[in-house]
Structure 1
Amino acid sequence: MMSHQLPELPYAYNALEPVYDEATVRLHHDAHHKTYVDGLNNAEAKLAEAREKGDFSLVKHWERELAFHGSGHLLHTLFWMNMSPQGGRTPSDALAARINQDFNSFEGFKNQFSAAAVAVEGSGWAVLVWNPEFQKLEILQAEKHQNLTQWGVAPLLTVDVWEHAYYLKYQNKRAAWVEAWWSLVNWTDVEERFAKVR
Structure 2
Amino acid sequence: MLGLVRAAARPTRLASSFARASASVHTLPKLDYAYDALEPHISGEIMTLHHSKHHQAYVTGLNTAEEQYAKTETPKDRIKLQAALKFNGGGHINHSLFWKNLAPESQGGGKLADGPLKKAIERDFGSVDKFKTKVNTATAAIQGSGWGWVGYNPETGKLEVVTTANQDPLLSHVPIIGIDIWEHSFYLQYKNVKADYLKAIWNVINFGEAEQRFVEATKSA
Give TM-score scaled by structure 1 length: 0.92
Matching residue of 2:84: 65
Matching residue of 2:65: 43
**Counterpart of 1:58 in 2: which secondary structure?**
helix
Quick one: which of 99, 114, 122 aligns to 2:136?
A: 114
Q: By how many angstroms is 1:58 displaced? A: 2.4
Distance in 1 between residues matched to 2:91 and 2:113, nearest whole Å:
26
Distance in 2 between residues matched to 1:15 and 1:175, nearest whole Å:
22
**Counterpart of 1:130 in 2: which secondary structure?**
strand
Quick one: which of 177, 183, 200 aligns to 1:157?
A: 177
Alpha-carbon contact 2:101-2:177 (below 8 Å) kept: yes
**Counterpart of 1:10 in 2: which secondary structure?**
coil
Distance in 2 between residues matched to 1:91 and 1:32, nearest whole Å:
32
Matching residue of 2:74: 55
Matching residue of 1:77: 96
Distance in 1 between residues matched to 2:62 and 2:103, nearest whole Å:
27
Q: Deviations over 1:92-121 (max 9, x none)?
A: 311111111211221221110010111111
Give TM-score scaled by structure 2 length: 0.83
Distance in 2 between residues matched to 1:156 and 1:61, nearest whole Å:
32
Deviates more, 1:63-72 or 1:187-196: 63-72
Paired AA for residue 81 in structure 1: K
**Counterpart of 1:108 in 2: which secondary structure?**
helix
Matching residue of 2:40: 18
Quick one: which of 22, 29, 46 aligns to 1:7?
A: 29
Q: By how many angstroms is 1:196 displaced? A: 1.1
Q: By how many angstroms is 1:42 displaced? A: 1.5
Alpha-carbon contact 1:91-1:191 (below 8 Å) kept: no
Q: By how many angstroms is 1:179 displaced? A: 0.6
Q: CA distance change for structure 1 residues 91 and 61 in 2, over 3 Å: closer, same or farther?
A: farther
Unpaired runs of 5+ residues, structure 2, are 1-22
- Does residue 95 of the first structure (1) align with residue 117 of the second (2)? yes
Q: CA distance change for structure 1 residues 47 and 91 in 2, over 3 Å: closer, same or farther?
A: farther
Distance in 2 between residues matched to 1:24 and 1:82, nearest whole Å:
16
Q: By how many angstroms is 1:146 displaced? A: 1.1
Alpha-carbon contact 1:81-1:186 (below 8 Å) kept: yes
Distance in 2 between residues matched to 1:61 and 1:162, nearest whole Å:
25
Paired AA for residue 208 in structure 2: T
Alpha-carbon contact 1:120-1:141 (below 8 Å) kept: yes
Alpha-carbon contact 2:112-2:208 (below 8 Å) kept: no
Q: Deviations over 1:23-79 (max 9, x none)?
A: 1100000000111111111221121111xxx22222223112111111111111111
- Does residue 131 of the first structure (1) align with residue 153 of the second (2)? yes
Q: Which aligned segments of 4 or more residues in structure 1 are displaced greater than 4 angstroms?
A: none
Q: By how many angstroms is 1:162 displaced? A: 0.3
Unpaired runs of 5+ residues, structure 1, are none
Paired AA for residue 91 in structure 2: G
**Counterpart of 1:57 in 2: which secondary structure?**
helix
How many residues align? The count is 193
Q: By how many angstroms is 1:150 displaced? A: 4.6
| Identity across the alignment (%) | 37
Root-mean-square deviation over aligned CA pairs: 1.4
Q: By how many angstroms is 1:163 displaced? A: 0.3
Distance in 2 between residues matched to 1:61 and 1:146, nearest whole Å:
17
Q: By how many angstroms is 1:125 displaced? A: 0.9
Larger helix percent = 2
